[in-house]
Chains A and B, each alone.
Chain A
Amino acid sequence: MIQRMWQAPVIAALAILAGGSEADGQARAVVIRNATLVPVTAPRIERGTIILRNGRIEALGMNVAVPSDATIVDGTGLFVYPGLIDAGTNLGLTEIGSVPGGEDTREIGDFNPQNVVLTAVNPHSELIPVTRVDGVTTAITSAEGGLVSGAAALIDLVGWTPAEMAVVPRAAMVVNFPSAGPQGFGGFGGGGQQRSAADRREAMNRQVRQLYQFFEDARAYADVHARTTGLKADHKFEALIPFVRGELPVIVDAASADQIRGAIAFADSLKLKIIIRGARDGWQVADTLAARKIPVIVGPLTQAPGNDEPYDLVYANPGVLAGAGVQLAFQSSDASNSRTLPYHAALATAYGLNPDEALRAVTINPARMFGVADKYGSLEVGKVANVFVATGDPLDVRTHVRHVYIRGESIPFTDRHTMLYEKFRARPKKP
């Protein structure tokens, strides 16, 4: 069972794409009229109409016939965008940060490729409704820790079960590239040990060797497996087969220039299809990344630069990468604040990233990175109807999102926050 799971990274979502369908099997269409459509992959359409039906975008344009059975949404003065994609979060794996009982983000051990994040995604997390009403409809949710953290899932933020949420159940393997950076944390109540630079470097080298060895063993396993039958199954290596064959991407979390260069060498040696994530020092390696066509997921941008670095380094980094021609996406690297994804991109636009590129970096680019650009990331006929309607630019904090559709399903604007807000806003004033 395990061994063939990877062969079906087919869009699980298709199974429930008929969401919202009526008894006769023909779903009622949603028509957003007279809005500015921002397809992302094509020029914007003023006073346009877009039709969503059966979970898909059925039509869009300036002159589109409106079906008689449709629910009409007046888009006058509003803008329609494809749903935003957070390329790095642990939504569904965590609820309240400080409560260990709700944490499924981090497994014991260094090598856990067999772990399937989707298994632990809680579709009913209170964090999900809060996220999607701000336009984030889709996310790469991943575990962290160790050297190989497990298979990240691409999920839509809708569905009754994890399987229903899945767009690609195992979208990418997550690898933390070893670092010689300071280990241990000596903050308030902490007291973690500090190690010497030499010790740290030695530990890093050992981890890098282990990482290579593990992937080489997995490759050998895959090769033998392809030629032989009756081989005793190793579920860790089994899980890595599509990744060592370069069929599915490996997300390599790498912040420093050394880690990024190390990750590229690792990918070269093992012929992996990698995506660099984090890439805080990406600007130093931008030309190489561009030349090698290695996509980069940046973020979070809410980090301070090092003491000896330019003040705007973190903000300006994405612009330098994109300017060099690197395919760029953003991650929030957060669960409760995954909704702030567009504001990471906004900070980058203040320091050199082209605003159109910033929008692509939260829509079509991540869709391309995870192999779903034929169904996600832009407003195009036939694509999955992940769409939101807003009062303006989603990168602008002042913009309000008015409607969200995921797989064509209208998303309610009630969540933990709005319920508490409404409840206490209605608290009677004392006489």
Chain B
Amino acid sequence: MRVFLQTTLAAFASISVAAQAPTPPAQPANTGPLGLPIPPAGTLVAITNATILTASHGTIERGTILIRDGKIAAVGADVQIPPGAKIIDGNGKYVTPGIIDAHSHSAAEAINEGTESITAQVRIEDVLRQDGTSLYRQLAGGTTTLNILHGSANTIGGQNAVVKLRYGLPVDSMLFAGAPPGIKFALGENVRQTTRPSPTRYPRTRMGVEDVLRDAFTRAREYQAEWKKYDVAKAAFDKAKQRGAVAPIPPNRDLQLDALVEVLEGKRLVHCHSYRADEILMMLRVAKDFGFRVATFQHVLEGYKVADELAAAGSGGSTFADNWAYKLEAWDAIPHNAALMAERGVVVSINSDSDERARRLYQEAAKAMKYGGASEETALRMITLNAAMQLGIDKRVGSIDVGKDADLAIFNGHPFAPASRVEMTLIDGRVFFDRATAPTLEWLIQRMKGRPRVTSEDAQ
């Protein structure tokens, strides 16, 4: 029995092996990890007769979404379906925008360069990988885009990567082309290393955290000024083209300060891990003094206490639905945080910070309705459009609108209803998850009993 089971389970194990192997294992040309087919690009697809939760302009009953070349070409109740379109029958189904997780640590080989408090130079992009089946499981929860951040060991942890879960394609093709670059900041207990028996690294206090930030941005400003001075001198030199003149010498390139200069210039979005209201206010002051905006406060468990300040600064809040009491700085966390911040004008998203939670963000979003009375569309936006706005990718994803990428999740019921699950997940119009062909527990049990799989397509 055991041997049989292990043999059967081995069918699922190909990916973890594949991720380690120096050369890819022999596989049929068109299959990815798990032996699943890689969906073709550019197909004309129509999802018909579905309840469409657009996240931008309400709900469309018995509607159709037409997808052409990976983009949403039409959406509505009266959409003409061109001949040749692949039909996905949405009867009885609910379609939402693909879920966007504004705080993930998936697909990264390592997330904490925990040696110094400022490590702005390290990049998630350099350690990106297809990490086993975790990405697939998140797809199976309707999640299509991740903001992969560094951990919270450092005050400035490093540069993020925004990816789409194009599972099975080469790692580089997961990167979300055109997404603004970002950087992870962190405040509070993790940075202060309070859980370590004998912390030795500065900063040890929230005062020190502020100092480290001001010091870093002061250096960045000086570095920026040096380069500006050089650019002026270089331009003058190039223009004059005087015989015998000595070309100005460029300042030393500093990869850490390069990233911080991008922050100063508004070209790199700051995503700041934070818990307590006081440290949030500190970060807002530092950002104001140095002339940049904090794009999102992550976790932001006491964001509800300073919602007006967050809203005034144009900073988003990306929080958990209901985690609290796991440490002292989470003692004042309340499940009403998301709804209350939203009520006071903050753009709010619900994130996972966990490969596991990223599989059920649709249930987490519903908690904003339960605690604090957010409307259904507000709650849905917290895992779609709002997250897209926070990441600066809302022109591309986050709602079901013509011209946007066809990143969609198809549920068997309302995404907030208890017995609902994801049936299909599309990215760029390509079906990257389909429960009908997915390796499910039921399928495994049937295989163990020696029964062939009957899919819904066979039944038709």
Interface residues of A (CB under 8 A from B): 95-99, 126-127, 188-189, 283-284, 302-305, 307-313, 315-317, 320, 335-337, 339-340, 343, 346-347, 349-352, 355, 393, 395-400, 416-417, 420-421, 424-425, 427, 429-430
Q: Is the CB of A346 within 8 A of B416?
A: no
* Given A189-B195, A304-B356: A310 in contact with B444 (beta carbons within 8 A): yes
Q: What is the number of residues of chain B that contact chain A, defined by CB distance less than 8 Å? A: 67
* Given A283-B445, A311-B137, A317-B441: A350 in contact with B332 (beta carbons within 8 A): no
Q: Is the CB of B322 within 8 A of A340?
A: yes
Q: Provide 30 A-B residue pairs closer than 8 Å at the C-beta atoms, listed in order of the A residue.
A: A96-B326, A96-B331, A98-B195, A98-B328, A99-B327, A127-B325, A188-B114, A188-B151, A188-B153, A189-B195, A304-B359, A307-B133, A310-B438, A310-B444, A313-B441, A316-B442, A320-B445, A336-B324, A339-B322, A340-B322, A393-B418, A396-B416, A397-B416, A398-B366, A399-B370, A417-B324, A417-B335, A424-B340, A427-B308, A430-B308
* B15 close to A (CB within 8 Å): yes
As a 0/1 sequence over residues 297 to 333 of chain B, the CB contacts with chain A under 8 angstroms (1 = contact) are 0000000110110000000000000111111101110
Q: Is the CB of A421 within 8 A of B132?
A: no
| Residue in A closest to B137 when the chains form the complex, CB atoms | A311
* B272 close to A (CB within 8 Å): no
Q: Is the CB of B421 within 8 A of A351?
A: yes
* Given A284-B5, A346-B418: A397 in contact with B324 (beta carbons within 8 A): no
Q: Which residues of B contact A400 (CB under 8 A)?
A: 370
Top 9 A-B pairs, shortest CB-CB distance: A346-B418, A98-B327, A336-B325, A397-B366, A308-B13, A97-B326, A316-B441, A395-B418, A350-B421
Q: Which residues of A contact B443 (CB under 8 A)?
A: 310
Q: Which of B9, B189, B193, B196 has the most CB of A within 10 A?
A: B9
Q: Which residues of B contact A310 (CB under 8 A)?
A: 12, 438-441, 443-444
Q: Is the CB of B360 within 8 A of A347?
A: yes
* B245 close to A (CB within 8 Å): no
Q: Is the CB of B132 within 8 A of A307?
A: yes
Tell me the bound Cα distance from A350 to B443 in angstroms: 16
Q: Is the CB of A303 within 8 A of B356?
A: yes
- Contact of B418 (CB < 8 Å), options: A336, A352, A396, A421: A396
Q: Is the CB of A343 within 8 A of B328?
A: no
Q: Is the CB of A337 within 8 A of B323?
A: yes
Q: Is the CB of A311 within 8 A of B372?
A: no
Q: Is the CB of A320 within 8 A of B137?
A: no
Interface residues of B (CB under 8 A from A): 5, 9-10, 12-13, 15-16, 112, 114, 132-134, 136-137, 140, 151, 153, 189, 193, 195-196, 304-305, 307-308, 322-328, 330-332, 334-336, 340, 343-344, 355-357, 359-360, 363, 366-367, 369-372, 416-421, 438-445
Q: Which residues of A contact B420 (CB under 8 A)?
A: 350
Q: Which of B307, B371, B419 has the most CB of A within 10 A?
A: B419
* Given A304-B137, A336-B324, A350-B421: A417 in contact with B336 (beta carbons within 8 A): yes
Task: Write the nearest CB–CB distance from B453 to chain A, whole angstroms.
Answer: 13
Q: Is the CB of A429 within 8 A of B308?
A: yes
Q: Which residues of B contact A303 (CB under 8 A)?
A: 356
Q: Which residues of A contact B326 (CB under 8 A)?
A: 96-98, 336
| Residue in B closest to A354 when the chains form the complex, CB atoms | B419
Tell me the bound Cα distance from A98 to B323 in angstroms: 14
Tell me the bound Cα distance from A355 to B418 in angstroms: 9
| Residue in B closest to A351 when the chains form the complex, CB atoms | B421
Q: Which residues of B contact A305 (CB under 8 A)?
A: 137
Q: Which residues of A contact B439 (CB under 8 A)?
A: 310-311
Task: Write the nearest CB–CB distance from A99 to chain B, whole angstroms.
Answer: 6
- Contact of A398 (CB < 8 Å), options: B305, B334, B360, B416: B416
- Contact of A420 (CB < 8 Å), options: B332, B363, B369, B370: B332
Q: Is the CB of A189 within 8 A of B359?
A: no
Q: Which residues of A contact B134 (CB under 8 A)?
A: 304, 307
Q: Which of A310, A337, A429 has the most CB of B within 10 A?
A: A310
Q: Which residues of B contact A99 (CB under 8 A)?
A: 327-328
Q: Is the CB of A424 within 8 A of B304?
A: yes
Q: Is the CB of B334 within 8 A of A420?
A: yes
* Given A188-B112, A397-B367, A424-B305: A355 in contact with B325 (beta carbons within 8 A): no
Q: Which of A309, A317, A339 has the most CB of B within 10 A?
A: A309
| Residue in A closest to B376 when the chains form the complex, CB atoms | A398
Q: Is the CB of A417 within 8 A of B334?
A: yes
| Residue in A closest to B11 when the chains form the complex, CB atoms | A308
| Residue in B closest to A300 when the chains form the complex, CB atoms | B356
Q: Which residues of A contact B359 (CB under 8 A)?
A: 304, 311
- Contact of B136 (CB < 8 Å), options: A311, A347, A416: A311
Q: Which of A126, A312, A343 has the most CB of B within 10 A?
A: A312
Q: Is the CB of B322 within 8 A of A337?
A: yes
Q: Is the CB of B16 within 8 A of A308?
A: yes
Task: Write the nearest CB–CB distance from B420 to chain A, whole angstroms.
Answer: 6
Q: Is the CB of A312 within 8 A of B440?
A: yes
Tell me the bound Cα distance from A424 to B327 in angstroms: 21
Q: Which residues of A contact B195 (CB under 8 A)?
A: 98, 189
Tell me the bound Cα distance from A147 to B189 in angstroms: 33
